[in-house]
A and B are shown apart, each in its own frame.
Chain A
Amino acid sequence: MSFTAPVATGRSTTGIPTARLAMWWLLASEIVIFGGLVAVYLLLRLHNPGWGEEASHTNVWAGAINTFVLLTSSYFIVLGHKYSELKETEKANKFMLLTVLFGFIFLIVKAYEYTTEIMHGFTLFKSVFWSFYYVATAIHATHVIVGMLAIYLISRGVKKGKNLHRTEVVGIYWHFVDIVWIFLFPLLYIAK
Chain B
Amino acid sequence: MAHAEHPKTNYTRMWIILMVLLVVSIVGPFFGILALTLITAFGIALVKAWMVASYFMHLNVEKKYIWWLLLGTLLFVVTLFAGMAPDVLVSEGLNWKNCMVDNTCVPQRL
Residues of A within 8 A of B (CB): 14-17, 20-21, 24-25, 27-29, 31-32, 35-36, 38-40, 42-44, 46-47, 60, 64, 67-68, 71-72, 74-75, 77-79, 82, 85-86, 168, 171-172, 175-176, 178-179, 182-183, 185-186, 190-192
Contact = CB atoms under 8 A, between A and B. Distances in A.
Nearest to A48: B88
Contacts of B74: 31, 35
Interface in B39-66: 41-42, 45, 48-49, 52-53, 55-57, 62-63, 66
Contacts of A192: 29
Interface residues of B, number: 42
Contact of B88 (A47, A72, A168, A179): A47
Nearest to B43: A186
A103 to B, nearest CB: 16
Contacts of A172: 57
13 contacts: A20-B1, A28-B70, A28-B73, A32-B73, A32-B77, A64-B22, A72-B15, A74-B52, A75-B18, A82-B11, A85-B2, A85-B3, A179-B49
A149 B25 CA distance: 31
Given A46-B89, A190-B41, A16 B1 contact: yes
Interface string B1-28: 1110010000110110011001001100
Nearest to A71: B18
A186 B45 contact: yes
B70 to A, nearest CB: 6
Interface of B: 1-3, 6, 11-12, 14-15, 18-19, 22, 25-26, 29, 37, 41-42, 45, 48-49, 52-53, 55-57, 62-63, 66, 69-70, 72-74, 76-78, 80-81, 84-85, 88-89
Contacts of A20: 1
A29 B86 CA distance: 26
B72 A175 contact: no
Nearest to A64: B26
A31 B11 CA distance: 25
